[in-house]
Chains A and B, each alone.
Chain A
């Protein structure tokens, strides 16, 4: 059975800290891994990773995929209270009508 596991499930840090969120997967016919941020209700797209070792970056957020270890990390540097959200990892399969398999999510809280 395909599985995506995120860790930690919950994280509380102070503003200015750097955080690393983890996502590991066991999925047949891997196509890509995606990260989403969910602040209130609707998750919004952050990154799509298809190639191992190539970092994707957007401001203070960055992410990288390790296909050998079947995992990805999402880094946030110099955190701000606006980074507080649930971060979702999802894996896309090559077959299966583009269905995504989601992890449980990491709830990140940034305290001022």
Chain B
């Protein structure tokens, strides 16, 4: 079974802190994604990567950056956390062109105080 692991289930940070959210997948998938999920807004794509060291902006990249130094790991970085970044963050991975095989991690609930 594909496993997508997010390093933290719950995280509490202060405004202005630098925050790292880590995601690791064990199925050698090329594509990796970071979404945030907010009530009434569904999942919104922050960044995605289709190969090592490649990244592309999603629909809401402002305030975020990403890093993909190894194929299995995709990190989301909040350079200076703000209260409006309090949200559920979901990482996902898939083989190229096979979104029916998109697998999600269990999510990180981030609270920025």
- A residues with a Cβ closer than 8 A to B are 4, 6, 9, 32, 34, 40-45, 48, 88, 90, 92, 97-100, 102-105
Question: Using a CB-CB cutoff of 8 Å, which residues 76-113 of chain B contact chain A?
Answer: 88, 90, 94, 96-97, 99-107
Contact A45 B42 (CB under 8 A): no
Our count of residue pairs bridging A and B at CB distance below 8 angstroms stands at 63
- B residues with a Cβ closer than 8 A to A are 4, 9, 31, 35, 40-45, 48, 50, 56, 58, 88, 90, 94, 96-97, 99-107
Contact A43 B45 (CB under 8 A): no
Residues of B within 8 A of A100 (CB): 45, 99, 102
Given A42-B106, A43-B104, A45-B102: A98 and B97 within 8 A (CB)?
Answer: yes
Besides the known contacts A32-B100, A42-B107, A98-B96, 8 further A-B residue pairs in the complex with CB atoms under 8 A apart = A9-B40, A41-B88, A41-B106, A42-B106, A43-B43, A92-B99, A98-B50, A100-B102
Residues of A within 8 A of B44 (CB): 102
